[in-house]
Structure 1
């Protein structure tokens, strides 16, 4: 499954109607969650049937405007959240507890595990999803028309991706996404991407860190780009301006959009374009994507640590730096390109990978500030991260040789990136505006 993303160009009235469609999709999802809490929805088929109930309800005339298959798509989102909650309960996932209402409406007693479905609130980044109906592409594949009862109209598609390579029946879903800098269309295409790669005879282990983004088992290090840290000072200025505005005012809306997207410079009339959260996240994702592809193309096997980033960011002293490093995003791209090029990506448990000696295997305790590994048993000396990377690679090879079945199950063959719109995203080609 591929995801091609292109930017939508339309009129202000069309964008307002898109907002209404997005708001309706959120309403359908929240209504199904509420019906599940009340016991009216107990299965996926019940969720589909409840969409028809919402459309026929005279109290919700806007629900019928949304395409029927789009309502089903948002019902699937709601049921996916419910299934995830059931899965966490069955697996006894530890974490913050949440109170679940009883059948009589009271909230006393019953407590559930992490992941209890929540109602979606308004967010700038939101989307509405269509399946095989409710949209239409022009013959030249450069214009997209939404055909439901919101009467949104036709948008011009901006991007370098060519949809002519695929049949219309291969486009399984169209997702309209609202971001701080505009509206985008994602096309989910039923196509398996495969790339040929010559064997290099190299195997590598990667140890990610904060001083260096990663160190491989050969001792090569890649610097941490620290995108957020570099622009943090300017972003804080925009956050301060936002906090100084009145809630509900137009100035607050402008300040929020400027913080979320790329806006004007800090000083009036300045040609400098201020950084933003959206710009930083795009730069970080693009860098992680290119670096992961380079690693996959250069090796026949890649070993990484199975880090629980969600637990690691609980350390408030390192949370900002860990999030800025984007370790999990880097792993996602490694797994994605590994499946495309046929390169095994093996995740091993991070147990004493930094403490054990890669030469003799004995444990050498060291603090986080100790950056050089010196083994008193065999005299081996190396950089701390390089020693850990070698241990990671050795653990992966041992995992494959001792338990082949289990090792193959940890080789990343498929990834859910395409469902989140992270693969093959396209930077829009925009027309240059004349400076006035």
Structure 2
């Protein structure tokens, strides 16, 4: 499944209709959740029946396409399922009990209620709201995909306008050239990441760089009268700036992950519990700005697309253990250099990256002690193991 996003261009009255569609989808989702709360144990099929009842009870709810109402009910049941899965997994902290939504920004259609033009440059909504035809703007080309491959159409309201996402049921596979290289990655705050060969990628810190502009825009919002049109305009400008920062962060995470995956056959990274780490209020902003979670998600996804081996390892003792002799050398967060009695002197993050690579190779079934032999070889090359061993060799000097 791949997702292609384009912008919707229409008239102001059409945008107001889109807002009504989104509010209706939020209403259906909340009503479905209320029905589950009052009748716990109901199934998704029961919520589908409730959607039909709502369409008869509320005339404006009946304007929304039947499959769009079902998709809104699915959002409620998915929240319920996520809550129960967190409880069964004994997830620490709050389990995420389903909540009623107040500020929904999207409405989702399945295979009906919309229609693409012959040239696939325009999208028409055909349900009771009669939003009309919108022009599709963007670099994505839908001509490569058959109409029956589009399984979902999601309309999203953002600060800079309205967009539409096409969820296409195709498998993405990209060809790549084997490199015979294995790499371990240690993410951080001083540098975005340091790999096992000592290469460093700087941390862009997009939020920190935009804080001055964000504070100025926030002051403008605070000075405007509540409910006024000027306040709405100021809020929109602030939202656009936040959206720009989030897009910069996402773009950096994708491009960096792509470079890592395409340049290596084996990638190991830390499986960090970012949810717990951001509880440290002194580091929460910097950790969130680094986008470690996004980076890890794209590593996994692009690894599947390009046929590379990407593994996550437990982060325990990767910074404390010596990558040369495996001896534990305790150090505080302020200690940036790893110095071991065996003579190894490395940057703290470089040492951690080497440990991450070693743990990843062991986790993948590669025996570092058997020279010239490996149990895993994604590309069928006999020299892949020797190249991996080279990347974890002892430092000189």
Does TM, scored on the shorter chain, surpass 0.5?
Answer: yes
Matched residue pairs, number? 369
Query: What are the superposed Cα offsets for residues 229-261 of structure 1, whole Å, 9 maximum, x if unpaired?
Result: 011011011111112222222122111101001
Q: Separation in 2 of the partners of 1:40 and 1:228?
A: 43
Corresponding residue to 1:246 among 211, 216, 225: 225
**What secondary structure is seen at the aligned counterpart in 2 of 1:7?**
strand
Pair 1:25-2:6 in alignment: no
Q: Could you say if the C-alpha distance between residues 402 and 287 of structure 1 is closer, same or farther in structure 2, counting changes exceeding 3 Å?
A: closer
Q: Which deviations, in whole Å up to 9, do the C-alpha atoms of 1:353-386 show, x marking residues without a partner? A: 000000000110001111100002x111101000
Moved more, 36-45 or 85-94: 36-45
Of 164, 167, 177, 1:185 maps to 164
Query: Residue 283 of structure 1 is aligned with which of 237, 248, 260?
Result: 248
- Partners in 2 of 1:150 and 1:41 — Cα distance? 33
The answer to whether the 8 A contact 1:41-1:47 is kept is: no
Contact 1:300–1:343, Cα closer than 8 Å, also in 2: yes
Distance 2:164 2:107 in 1: 10
1:390 to 341, 354, 375: 354
Aligned mate of 1:130, from 97, 102, 109 = 109
Counterparts of 1:41 and 1:397, CA distance in 2: 45
Q: Distance in 2 between matches of 1:296 and 1:400?
A: 17
Summarize the alignment of residues 351-430 of structure 1 with structure 2, pairs less than 5 Å apart. Answer: 351-376=316-341, 378-401=342-365
Alignment pair present for 1:150 and 2:129: yes
Q: In the TM superposition, what are the counterparts of 1:103-122 in structure 2 within 5 Å?
A: 114-122=95-103
Secondary structure in 1 matching 2:343: coil
Q: Which residue of 2 aligns with 1:342?
A: 307
1:141, CA displacement in angstroms? 0.3
Gapped regions of structure 1 (runs ≥ 5): 97-113, 262-275, 412-436
Number of the residue aligned with 2:280: 315
C-alpha distance in 1 between matches for 2:337 and 2:40: 61
CA distance in 1 between partners of 2:181 and 2:8 (Å): 43
1:32 touches 1:41 (CA, 8 Å); kept in 2? Answer: no
- Counterpart of 2:69? 71
1:150-229 superposed matches below 5 A: 150-229=129-208
For 2:5 and 2:330, the matched residues in 1 are separated by: 48
SS of residue matched to 1:304: strand
The Cα of 1:402 is off from its aligned counterpart by 7.4
1:41, 1:50 within 8 Å by CA — same for their partners in 2?
Answer: no
Structure 2 distance, partners of 1:69, 1:375, is 63
Q: Distance in 2 between matches of 1:215 and 1:188?
A: 35
CA shift at 1:337, angstroms? 0.6
- Secondary structure of the 1:401 match is coil
The answer (yes or no) to whether the contact 1:214–1:223 under 8 Å persists in 2 is yes
Cα distance, 1:49 vs structure 2:
1.1
SS at match of 2:186: strand
Runs of 4+ more than 3 Å apart: none
Residue 332 of structure 1: aligned partner:
297
CA 1:41–1:31: 2 relative to 1, 3 Å: farther
User: Against the structure 1 CA distance between its residues 402 and 204, is the aligned structure 2 distance closer, same or farther, given a 3 Å change threshold?
Assistant: closer
Question: Greater relative contact order: 1 or 2 (C-alpha under 8 angstroms, separation 6 or more)?
Answer: 1
- After superposition, what is the alpha-carbon deviation per residue over 1:67-87, rounded to whole angstroms, capped at 9, x for unaligned? 000001111111000001111
Deviation at 1:90, TM superposition (A): 1.4
Work out whether 1:296 is the aligned partner of 2:261: yes
Deviation (angstroms), 1:292 = 0.5
Aligned-pair Cα RMSD in Å: 1.5
Unaligned runs of 5+ in 2: 368-374, 379-397
Measured in 2, the distance between the counterparts of 1:244 and 1:352 equals 50
After TM superposition, the score normalised by the length of structure 2 is 0.91
Shift of 1:41: 6.3
Moved more, 192-201 or 210-219: 192-201
TM-score, length basis structure 1: 0.83
SS at structure 1 position matched to 2:193: strand
Secondary structure in structure 1 of the residue aligned to 2:52: helix
